[in-house]
Structure 1
């Protein structure tokens, strides 16, 4: 079942049914559901799935997929990509009803054979584009895909007719996979799975978050124990320094000086490492909310992927405990800071709520020196400001008054005077002494599911 992929499906079907040749790049992080999406949205397509095998092994495994169509001998072997593309051309000439071909995990092919992209370009220019073929190159490593397929010096630049990044599901669609009894557990689960369908399916059979976490994330042999390593390892030749940085950022340290100090990386080099992590989309570089001008304040760095944030904060440093089966000690270490981890996720959910329910045109965080506002959004001439509290205490008038005081500085920084300000308070534990008005909106966990 496809959940919240209507736009992606419509894009793929429209391109597949067009009356011209299409060269599409579909990409997104591993496990986000790209292959499942392609298989369920394309009625007729030839699929070739690459891996880290040698070029000779790959082209002959791809050949196995078309031998039956062309009635080729089972023992036939080929030794060049030109031979493969020549046979693929014969497939399209033989099967007039077949016009779409998908190369899944295609980034592995040029990793093992640098000539592949040039050969592909030549065959596209001279043959497949003239046959009206729809070719989809689908890949997982976002930084690598953008480098080999989307940059100006790529052989495919100027030839692609579309690209689509498949993103993780938001909190509200992620919740549709789950069947928890407690509303808090949905937020906690999102702070671990981050809207990745395959991870959500792992949690879908459980009625509570704690059991799902223990059995699917903290149990030796379960793939989520090592998933973080596999997601990042192939991006680096020497991952040790990057892993140190990712651990520090996952712990909530967001400015370069702190990250350098706690990771042991020389401060003069830290921006080189951070730039690389941003390029690979493993780390997000964030500037404070602004309406027009670029803020002069220094950026902050975050792990935007919820699973990787959990992995580098809790799994990677405690892997020995997990493999020794010391669940109680592992859980004790997680519980000591887990509310802080989830509070970051709760802020993200609040921003998603504002996009979905209020229709804000832009949303983010704002900060200046020692002052911070969790949520700032804009729609027309209305400015929405919000505070998010993942706490066992009810939110009261003091939280609202502190937010009001910050807004004066925010308005000065944004250089606006005639905006209407609406306050949004998000609370895990509800409210005390507050009533909702046109100016003040109150959102608790129950409201998230309405």
Structure 2
């Protein structure tokens, strides 16, 4: 499989490797995000021992770990009685040559022996530190990595020399994979999101419709059951989590709405939502002008585009898909796809603003996000508190060019946003899938920026 991007992450790993000292690096992030591919790319052409942990007994895990070391050294594996013996054997090899030791899915080891971080603490302090080798611990269980490996209570706390919290590909980075033209690329990204595994399932020589039918709606396709597999891997009883994700994906975004749609009481629901946030499957949003901790106007969103697509279009239509996937696509997905894409387009427009700031086309802002109050909503609001500057933006994924009506509407809604002093500096930005009506650019003043498909494609 082709390796895409991750230049900054590779550079961080390579810089650590070239330090000439013993390095202990942590790499973590959601499943399917590309951690293993990153590790293998980094280890390529460098002396290394790569061990992928599995959900097995502690003894079998330890035996396989030692076997992997022995295989690299081309010798018979010794018998070891505990992890201290296993790590001592590894230390002997590090005395002989400079190595990268990458342990993937480290949380599986910790699950079988909670004392394992203490063994690795001793290994790092007493044996790795005196070498020029590098230890990389990697894991998909974000909660375990953040608590048992990085947390303040962990024996390993404060010993890492670097860490990477691997994120999904942004739309701009995903364009290296998605070879469609801009409009189709946005629609495709709204289905796969930036998760490396999902992006690379599509064949971009086929149409988006064919990809959805063959890679998502086919009962034999990997993506067809992926969310269930993902939740069963992370959770013992995923049924209620599945219903919560479906509720959020279909527009029930407040705790009261989610409780009403799922029948789950507010007490248990709070714990379920917290778990889904910890797994990075949902995120909590508040109006950008409000305090994240204090605001009661919070909404929940599914934090992954593919999961949002799957819970909206696949899960509710399982029976029909088994019988007639073509009809589900034509009758259910195609007519509603534009509405689904519109949310993704808003995120892409935020990404375009950050890129325009980096390129000097827009003034800088400290924060960007949605704003809402009652029935009023603005797609993007940017805040620059130090300069008393505010940006208002609207994003339209429509087949018609944007006209003067949106200009007037946004200017009116801007007056309802209570932030900053009365003499604050206001700027405006419009984003449109289909461009703008003739003459609009001439009719607005310099406080307005217009981004059509060409401008967005150039930025991203």
| Corresponding residue of 2:84 | 82
| Corresponding residue of 2:367 | 362
What are the equivalent positions in structure 2 for 1:47-126 lying under 5 Å apart? 47-73=50-76, 77-94=79-96, 96-98=97-99, 100-126=100-126
Q: Which runs of 5+ in 2 are unaligned?
A: 359-364
1:217 paired with 2:222, answer no
How far off is 1:245 after superposition? 0.7
Q: Bigger shift: 284-293 or 186-195? A: 284-293
Distance in 2 (CA, whole Å) between partners of 1:228 and 1:293 is 28
**Residue deviations 1:66-113 (CA, integer Å, cap 9, x gap):** 224444326x5544322221211121122x232x21111111111233
Q: Which runs of 5+ in 1 are unaligned?
A: none
Say if 1:376 and 1:385, in contact at 8 Å, map to a contact too.
yes
The structure-2 alpha-carbon separation of the partners of 1:321 and 1:154, relative to structure 1 and needing over 3 Å to count, comes to farther
Indicate the SS of the match to 1:238: coil
Indicate the SS of the match to 1:177: coil
| Corresponding residue of 1:29 | 30
| Corresponding residue of 1:155 | 155
How far off is 1:45 after superposition? 2.7
| Corresponding residue of 2:253 | 254
Indicate the SS of the match to 1:62: helix
Within the candidate set 372, 377, 384, 2:377 is matched to 372
**Residue deviations 1:128-179 (CA, integer Å, cap 9, x gap):** 2333542111111222321221221122112222221111111122122122
| Corresponding residue of 1:142 | 142
1:401 paired with 2:408, answer yes
Q: What TM-score, normalized to structure 1?
A: 0.91
**Residue deviations 1:397-416 (CA, integer Å, cap 9, x gap):** 11111111111121xx2123
| Corresponding residue of 2:234 | 235
Q: Bigger shift: 13-22 or 432-441? A: 432-441
Say if 2:213 and 2:325, in contact at 8 Å, map to a contact too.
no
Say if 2:321 and 2:328, in contact at 8 Å, map to a contact too.
no
Q: Bigger shift: 398-407 or 265-274? A: 265-274
How far off is 1:444 after superposition? 2.1
Distance in 2 (CA, whole Å) between partners of 1:422 and 1:4 is 34
How far off is 1:283 after superposition? 1.1
The structure-2 alpha-carbon separation of the partners of 1:301 and 1:49, relative to structure 1 and needing over 3 Å to count, comes to same
Distance in 2 (CA, whole Å) between partners of 1:318 and 1:114 is 42
1:441 paired with 2:449, answer yes
| Corresponding residue of 2:10 | 9
| Corresponding residue of 2:435 | 430
The count of aligned residue pairs is 444
Within the candidate set 380, 387, 391, 2:394 is matched to 387
Say if 1:394 and 1:427, in contact at 8 Å, map to a contact too.
yes
Distance in 1 (CA, whole Å) between partners of 2:86 and 2:281 is 35
**Residue deviations 1:36-81 (CA, integer Å, cap 9, x gap):** 222223433321111212222222222232224444326x554432
Indicate the SS of the match to 2:198: helix
**Residue deviations 1:239-280 (CA, integer Å, cap 9, x gap):** 111111111111122111101101111134322221222222
How far off is 1:352 after superposition? 0.5
How far off is 1:325 after superposition? 4.8
| Corresponding residue of 2:362 | none
How far off is 1:331 after superposition? 4.3
Indicate the SS of the match to 2:50: strand
Indicate the SS of the match to 1:421: strand
Say if 1:45 and 1:102, in contact at 8 Å, map to a contact too.
yes
